[in-house]
């Protein structure tokens, strides 16, 4: 998870490949109305996001029920959004790509996203509620370094979860 320009898709795809998981980008599930609104530079409201979040929550539940290991790249900026998305926190692990406004603004200036307008970055930072229960990844590192850090942190987290199940 993270704001635009944090590397969610780049890191998510690389992490999924490394782990032999499926990769899904939450942006692919936005309605056409939401895409048009963002492209025009208008931030989405909670009401705009709710059907999208509910759809993603359904997908996550399906992946868990089918034991389909998946990396989902999703902004999930607010705690309330993550509560909608995650019904089984023991089986869903959040990775948060953290970095500065300046770093992400520089990245966004170099790319052309199909509907995300780079002027929305400030509103995303204003909306962001950093997760207390996530694995924090330094988005200023290279993609390979971030994926290495993610894999190591995931292995440690899974070891903790497994040891707590045995206790």
- At 28-62, the pLDDT tens digits run 999 999 998 988 888 889 999 999 999 999 999 99
Cβ pair 146, 137 in contact under 8 A: yes
Domains and CATH numbers, the chain: 8-166 (3.40.50.300)
Cβ pair 39, 27 in contact under 8 A: no
Q: Residue 114's pLDDT is what?
A: 60
Helix (H) or strand (E) holding 22: strand 22-25
Cβ pair 86, 60 in contact under 8 A: yes
End-to-end CA distance of the chain: 31
Cβ pair 152, 38 in contact under 8 A: no
Q: Residue 165's pLDDT is what?
A: 63
Q: How many Å apart are CA 142 and CA 138, to the nearest integer?
A: 9
Give the residue-averaged pLDDT of 97-116. 84
């Amino acid at each position: 998870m993270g704001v635009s320009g944090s590397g969610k898709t780049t890191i998510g795809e690389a992490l999924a490949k490394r782990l032999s998981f499926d990769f899904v980008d939450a942006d692919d599930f936005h309605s056409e109305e939401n895409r048009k609104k963002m492209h025009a530079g208008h931030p989405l409201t909670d009401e705009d996001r709710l059907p999208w979040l509910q759809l993603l929550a359904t997908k996550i539940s399906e992946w868990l029920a089918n034991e389909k290991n998946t990396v989902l790249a999703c902004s999930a900026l607010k705690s309330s959004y993550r509560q909608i998305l995650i019904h089984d926190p023991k089986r869903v692990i959040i990775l948060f790509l953290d970095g500065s406004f300046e770093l992400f603004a520089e990245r966004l200036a170099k790319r052309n996203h199909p509907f995300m307008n780079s002027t929305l970055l400030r509103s995303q930072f204003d909306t962001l509620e950093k997760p207390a229960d996530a694995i924090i990844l330094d988005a200023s590192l290279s993609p390979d370094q971030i994926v290495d850090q993610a894999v190591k942190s995931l292995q440690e987290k899974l070891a903790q979860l497994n040891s707590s199940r045995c206790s």
